[in-house]
Structure 1
Amino acid sequence: MIKIVRTNSENTDFVKLINFLDKYLAEKHGNDHFFYTQYNKVDQIKHVVVAYQDDEPIGCGAIKQYDPDTMEVKRMYTSPVARGKGIATNVLTELEIWTTELGYKKCILETEKRQVKAIELYKKNGYQLIPNYGQYAQIENSVCFEKDMIRIF
């Protein structure tokens, strides 16, 4: 059975999972990874979700405030052994629920164009392509999405 836990960025299981994420991204994307690292610091993240199966952490994600109406989805990761089982959708859904409980109206996120599975996940879950925002505005390899939370929950 999958258990979803709300926590913060100090959670040791979250830290363990994002270390795997960072290693994966560095191997997959090489030098491009270093640009993104500066925007993925967890010290400013207060809202984290960790997914467990049999008390083993298998997935995570986080949200952080982007502006007064918007949360940005960050640090989405599912361990390789748990992929294809709906874990990422469960984590994303919990982050969206939390977003609405906190009074935010939408979620935005950025991923790399080469992250085909991530793009499929976000589209499947109702995210719409938007122009690249903020620090990603001029980054050719980035693709950004948005989802209106008001109509969802």
Structure 2
Amino acid sequence: MSVSIAVETPLQDDVRALVVRLNDHLLPLSPLEYQFKMTVEQMADSATTLFVARDAAGRAIGMGALKMHGPDLGEVKRMYTVPEVRGQRVGRQLLERIVDLARERGLPVVMLETGTGDGMAEAHRLYTRYGFVPRGPFLDYPDSEWSAFFEMDLTSPALVATADVTNERELL
């Protein structure tokens, strides 16, 4: 599958539709007070960079963002691929672009919060295969059974090398 990924504004109809699909997916998985969603307007803030994946026809098929929390922390937000393309490495490509941007910006660490349960198993696999490791809550996220937290230390040569080797193996 031919996929292009670029930085785009979230203030587009097809990106808004992706956000709706993501929110619909998340709705039954945990109580609303444990769903830490960003609206497209919040995603358009200068502290957030949104990557959009598009298929050969130009259709938006996935997204993911890097939200900056100062010079020392980046957060992966709003990762989503449409069900029709899951298993085709679109999510991995989006995550790679987000982590690459974090490295370019000199961030020492990238973290993320995601849900738990069966509906999030694919996301957990993606993050751990890429080199993220479980951690406790960060920022103002509450510690709860509904959230899982991960981080990637971008200063550790061992983790960077592991992520690069994994990328090469999966591209073959």
Match of residue 93, structure 1, among 93, 96, 104: 96
Matched with 2:26 is 25
Please give the per-residue CA displacement for 1:104-139, whole angstroms capped at 9, x wherever unaligned.
222100111111111111000000111122332322
CA RMSD of aligned residues (A): 1.9
1:34 Cα shift?
A: 4.5
Distance 1:15 1:64 in 2: 18
Is the counterpart of residue 126 in structure 1 residue 131 in structure 2? Answer: yes
Q: Which has the higher strand share?
A: 1
Partners of 2:63 and 2:79 within 8 A in 1: yes
1:56-67 equivalence runs, <5 A: 56-67=59-70
Gaps of 5+ in 1: none
Gaps of 5+ in 2: 165-172
Matched with 2:35 is 36
Distance 1:117 1:18 in 2: 18
Distance 1:117 1:147 in 2: 18
Distance 2:97 2:89 in 1: 12
Partners of 1:4 and 1:91 within 8 A in 2: yes
Partners of 1:44 and 1:64 within 8 A in 2: no
Question: Which stretch has the larger CA shift, 76-85 or 63-72?
Answer: 63-72
Is the counterpart of residue 7 in structure 1 residue 12 in structure 2? Answer: no
Q: Name the count of aligned residue pairs.
A: 150
1:100 Cα shift?
A: 1.6
Larger Rg belongs to = 2
Amino acid at match of 2:153: D
Distance 1:63 1:83 in 2: 21
1:7 Cα shift?
A: 1.9
Distance 2:104 2:16 in 1: 25
Structure 2 length as normaliser, TM-score?
A: 0.79
Structure 1 length as normaliser, TM-score?
A: 0.88
Amino acid at match of 1:33: L
Percentage of matched positions with identical amino acids = 28
Distance 2:124 2:32 in 1: 17
1:40 Cα shift?
A: 2.3
Is the counterpart of residue 110 in structure 1 residue 108 in structure 2? Answer: no
